[in-house]
Amino acid sequence: MSTVNPAIETSPDHGHADDHGHGHEHHGSFISTYVFSTDHKMIGKQFLITTLLCLFAGGALALGVRWQLAFRWEAMPFFGMLFKAEGGQISPEFYTMLVTMHATVMIFLVIIPILAGAFGNFLIPLMIGADDMAFPILNMLSYWFMWPAIFSFGASFFCAGYGSASGWTTYPLLSALPEAAPGSGHAQTFWLIGLTFIGFSSMMGSINYMTTIINMRAPGMTLFRMPLTIWSMLITAILQSFALPVLTAAGFMLVTDRMLGTCFFIPSGVVVNDTAPTVGGGQPLLWQHLFWFYSHPAVYIMLLPAMGMVSDMLACMSRKPIFGYKPMVYSMAAIAGLGFIVWGHHMFISGMNPALGMTFMVSTVMIALPSAVKVFNWIGTMWGGRLVFNTVMLNCIAFVSLFIVGGLSGIFMAAVPVDIYIHDTYFIVAHFHYVLFGATLFGCFGAIPFWFPKMYGRMMSERLGKIHFFLTFIGFNGTFFPMHLLGVSGMPRRYADPYQHEYLSHLLPMNKVMTCFAILMGFAQLILLFNFFYSRSFGKPSGRNPWNANGLEWTAPSPPGHGNFESVPICYRGPYEYSDPNHSEDFWLQTDRPAPKSGDTPPVIAGH
């Protein structure tokens, strides 16, 4: 793998992100380079490191949840000290806070920003051959708008009730009435403010991605020569920009319900905590419609970019063209399109018109189809390839393998009658962890070492990467696969103490085992963190194209300087021309000028 195309060999600038070189000298101050940078690569890295750290916060919260499920009402020495839980117990409202904030941090501060923010930012201009995003300042703002969100979510930890505790879905009236739950006071307001900021951040990113992808492609980079990563980013951006305003509006409505007494979601005649709040006249189901109108597409926002990246990595590590490029694109588009009309499957048992249940069931079941097509195509991509079993590939195979489970368990949830029983049980917890962790995060765990050389000019440690993968994979399956069984056993989610119910009491030992796996998995992430920061400074220098991949980004220096490319790259073919029998190498860069049809002079690559 270490052979590098001699045509683009260059002296690597190891680990100096500020080395711009190559005729694009641009000396900025420390602040403008590292902090308020408008360079898409720096913003991407900022996003990546921020989200990795948030991943740890979210993981710690999850371990708190697992602790309670395994050792209920046992004193948790340090959590107890931190949060003044009397007798060291995790009190029930603290448990609901843990559940809520775990989901919040993982979804809004990890999954969405790591895909769109980190990889979207870093990869889009590089992969389409642009020198930067269309709106660099907007891009910078999209990162810096994440910080108010982090602070808001963080601040809600320090409010009475320590954090919003109405679930990440914040269903009113639990979230609308400060009296309804300990965390529904200022903590909930902060939470909503944080959500709004995250929304702004995503929206600015989306506009940028769409504009950049549509307008700034390199010469020759037609739409159907774009890598699937770019396609997925484009579709994600479209999804986000159409769905997000609804959530933002809903969030504002909820804030006004809370602060101004507008009662969009509050019906008449409720008495909570011995306080009759308001005049009412609203409808709690309205929130669910608005919320899921965004949040269901958001599920695909949290998945599609990973699908795109995995497609790229699988093709590269199989040394094979992607199997069915256009069906891949169409199925992503289909997922996005259908994604807008399936939100009601979160509300099958909410009491909405049952006829809606039927229509949403059909659309939901059908959304499994494009996902299935993608799975078949990924397997087809690996079929007959020369597979390279490195960290990147292992994580991608895990992605495919686990996504199959996540997709199949989704069919159970989509079938309304079956959903009656398994709705809001651990079955759904298993399902979305298989999709969001099993698929998306494993995709990211593959993408980090894959594009790490491009980010820092160094390779990440293979050995550590494999150990990390091994432990994470084992821990993941040990933690989440049994949750399917818990779901079938009827164990409701978000229960601080399910074992008080007789029919669940025998599940305690199983939960203890799951918690052990979860702890294993949690600690395995330290390896990733160490590997990341260690390799950043001490990794093996990588050169421009360590993977012998085809994409435009691999023709740029590692790390690319300001403006990315030495000269405007010209794209001659699609990104997946691996192992072309008519080409000497088993990869064929998109910028490699094709051999002239006649004549015997070898091509000379301009600019070198």
Chain positions 176 to 195 lying near another protein, rule: CB under 8 A, are 177, 179-182
Contact between 498 and another protein per CB under 8 A: yes
Backbone angles phi, psi at 458, to 5 degrees: -135, 155
Question: To which residue do tokens 């397997």 refer?
Answer: 379
Reduced to 3 states, what is the DSSP secondary structure of residue 91?
A: coil
Contact between 467 and another protein per CB under 8 A: no
Q: Using CB under 8 A, which residues numbered 576 to 595 contact another protein? A: 576, 578-581, 586
One-letter amino acid at 290 equals L
Q: Using CB under 8 A, which residues numbered 137 to 156 contact another protein? A: 150-151, 154
Q: Tell me the C-alpha distance between 542 and 523, whole Å.
A: 28
Cβ proximity to another protein: between 237 and 549 the closer is 549
Among 202, 395, 409, 558, binds another protein (CB under 8 A): 409
Contact between 411 and another protein per CB under 8 A: yes
Q: Using CB under 8 A, which residues numbered 39 to 68 contact another protein? A: 53-54, 56-57, 59-61, 63-64, 67
Q: Using CB under 8 A, which residues numbered 294 to 323 contact another protein? A: 318-323
Q: Using CB under 8 A, which residues numbered 247 to 286 contact another protein? A: 267-275, 280, 282-285
Cβ proximity to another protein: between 49 and 216 the closer is 49
Contact between 462 and another protein per CB under 8 A: no
Q: Tell me the C-alpha distance between 99 and 493, whole Å.
A: 10
**Minimal distance, residue 121 CB to another protein, in Å:** 21
Q: Tell me the C-alpha distance between 425 and 409, whole Å.
A: 13
Give the DSSP H/E element, type plus range, for residue 258.
Answer: helix 228-259
Q: Using CB under 8 A, which residues numbered 80 to 139 contact another protein? A: 80, 82-89, 91-96, 99
Cβ proximity to another protein: between 243 and 317 the closer is 317
Contact between 471 and another protein per CB under 8 A: no
Among 197, 300, 325, 437, binds another protein (CB under 8 A): 325
Among 398, 441, 448, 549, binds another protein (CB under 8 A): 398
Among 423, 431, 536, 562, binds another protein (CB under 8 A): 423
Contact between 395 and another protein per CB under 8 A: no
Residue 323: how many CB atoms within 10 A of its CB? 22
* Piece of the chain touching another protein by CB under 8 A; list 39-47, 236-244, 417-425, 590-598: 417-425
Q: Tell me the C-alpha distance between 476 and 520, whole Å.
A: 9
Collect contacts of 494-503 with beta carbons under 8 A, ≥24 apart: 494/96, 494/99, 494/167, 496/68, 496/72, 496/90, 496/92, 496/95, 496/96, 497/68, 497/72, 497/73, 497/92, 498/69, 499/72
Q: Which residues pair with 458 in a beta bridge?
A: 541
Q: Using CB under 8 A, which residues numbered 528 to 547 contact another protein? A: none
Residue 408: how many CB atoms within 10 A of its CB? 15
Among 34, 71, 340, 572, binds another protein (CB under 8 A): 71
181 near 165, Cβ under 8 Å?
yes
**Minimal distance, residue 348 CB to another protein, in Å:** 8
**Minimal distance, residue 454 CB to another protein, in Å:** 23
Instruction: Give 5's contacts (C-beta < 8 A, 6+ positions apart).
Output: 544, 545, 548, 585, 589
Q: Which residues pair with 568 in a beta bridge?
A: none
Contact between 377 and another protein per CB under 8 A: yes
Cβ proximity to another protein: between 212 and 545 the closer is 545
Q: Tell me the C-alpha distance between 439 and 306, whole Å.
A: 8
